[in-house]
Amino acid sequence: MDHDHVIGKYIHTVLETGHPPVSVYAFAKELDVSEREFFEHFSSLEALEANIWKRTVTDTIHAIDQSEEWGGFSAQQKLLTFYYALCDRILDRRSFFLARFPRLPKGEKPHQSLCGMRHAFTEFAERILDSGRESGEVACRGTLAKAYPLGLFGHLLSVVEFNLEDTSHGFERTDAYIEKSVRLAFDVIGTQAVDSAFDLFRFLSGRSWGTPDPS
C-alpha cells in the first residue's frame, strides 16, 4: 500500500465530503484494500492525519537539506528558508490545511495529532540552534536554552496559523511576518530583543502599512 496514494485519497475524501471518512472500514473500501492492510500501516484515521502534519515538516526539511546553499547559511537564514519552503508546501494543500489543521485558543496545548510534527521540527530546530551557538548567533544561557526548541515550535504554529488567515496578495503579509518574527526570535535568543520586538508589534498593529517598511 503506497503511503502517498493513501494520503492523497484521504485528502480528496475530506475535501469532497467535508469531513474525514466515517470509519477505517469505509476508507479501506475506497482504497480497495482490506482493513488489515490499512492497519499494518496506520493505527487509525487519526494517526494517518497526524502523519500528514509530520510529513509536511519532514518533506520540507529533506527538500531544503538538498540545496547547495544550505551549508553556507547562517542559523537565522536556515530558519527563514525553512518557513518560506514550508508555506510554499502548504500552498499545494491549502484547502486541506484550512479545513483540518488543528488551531486552538492561545494558551492551550497543541493538539495531540501534532506530536509527530513537533518531534520532527524540534529535532531540526536543535540542529539550527547548534549551528547558531557555533556562529555566535545563539547565546548560551544554560537551562533556559533547553526551552528554545519548544519555543520555536510554538513559533512554527504561529507561522502556519498566520499563513492560513492571510488574505493578502501572494501572501506577502506572511512573508513579512516570517521575516520580522524570525528576526525577533534570534534577537531574543541572541542579544537584541527590543528593536525587533517593537518592529514586530508595529507590523502586527497595522501602523506600518501606510508607509514603506524602513527595513
Q: What is the DSSP string of 49-106?
A: HHHHHHHHHHHHHHHHHTSTTGGG--HHHHHHHHHHHHHHHHHHTHHHHHHHS----T
- The grid coordinates of residue 68 equal 547547495
User: Over the stretch 133-186, which tens digit does the pLDDT of each residue have?
Assistant: 898 888 887 777 788 899 999 999 999 999 999 999 999 999 999 999 999 888
Q: What is the pLDDT of residue 211?
A: 47
Domains of the chain: 1-42 (1.10.10), 52-205 (1.10.357)
Q: What is the pLDDT of residue 204?
A: 61
Q: What is the pLDDT of residue 52?
A: 96
The residues, ordered by sequence, that sit 6+ positions from 122 with a Cβ below 8 Å of its Cβ are 149, 150, 152, 153
What is the spatial distance between Cα 101 and Cα 111, in angstroms, rounded to a whole number? 10
pTM of the model: 0.84
Residue owning grid cell 501572494: 170
The burial of 48, by beta-carbon neighbours within 10 Å (0-12 exposed, 13-18 middle, 19 or more buried), is given as: buried
Q: What is the pLDDT of residue 22?
A: 95
176-to-75, 179, 206, 207 alpha-carbon distances in Å: 18, 5, 12, 14
SS3 110: coil
Q: What is the pLDDT of residue 166?
A: 96
What's the average pLDDT block by block, 10 residues per block, for the chain (215 residues)? 92 95 96 95 95 96 91 94 97 96 72 92 95 88 80 93 96 96 87 58 54 49
